[in-house]
Amino acid sequence: MDQEGEGRKLAVPYGSNPDTCPVRSLKAWLEAAGIESGPVFRSITRHGKIGARLSGYDVALVVKQYAGALGLDAATYAGHSLRAGLATSAAIAGASERSIMNQTGHRSSAMVRRYIRDGSLFRENAAAKVGL
């Protein structure tokens, strides 16, 4: 997180699927919005005018809207769901806590572990080794 607004460099790799690649999507957004500097994520008026930076509240509304559109309980999702989802997915894929912390900006292992949710319960699961 960058709660102080200082900014930080962050590596985001190209995705294997061009339709969902975060780098390609970001480049397309910056070009379409004409953004050359300043905040990347900004509001759009109903008339298509690019506005001010998105607040945490704005991000939460977008996440809730799309969660609901997918048939999920929108009340259980917020902006931090994106961060938690990355941490969980990365842990399931075998990323180390340190590499997850480097990406998410967490400063403590204890805090990143709170983000690595139930999805990691089946990774290295002792009961699965028993062969029930």
| Tens digit of each residue's pLDDT (9 = 90 or more) over 66-89 | 999 999 999 999 988 898 889 988
With residue 130 as reference, give the H or E element that holds it: helix 126-130
Backbone angles phi, psi at 15, to 5 degrees: -85, 155
Bridge partner residues of 50 (DSSP):
44
Please indicate, yes or no, whether the overall pTM of this predicted structure exceeds 0.75. Answer: no
Q: Where are the beta strands (DSSP E) in 16-121?
A: 42-44, 50-53
For the chain, give every domain's residue range.
13-54, 55-120
pLDDT over 90, % of the chain: 40
* Per-residue DSSP letter, 76: G
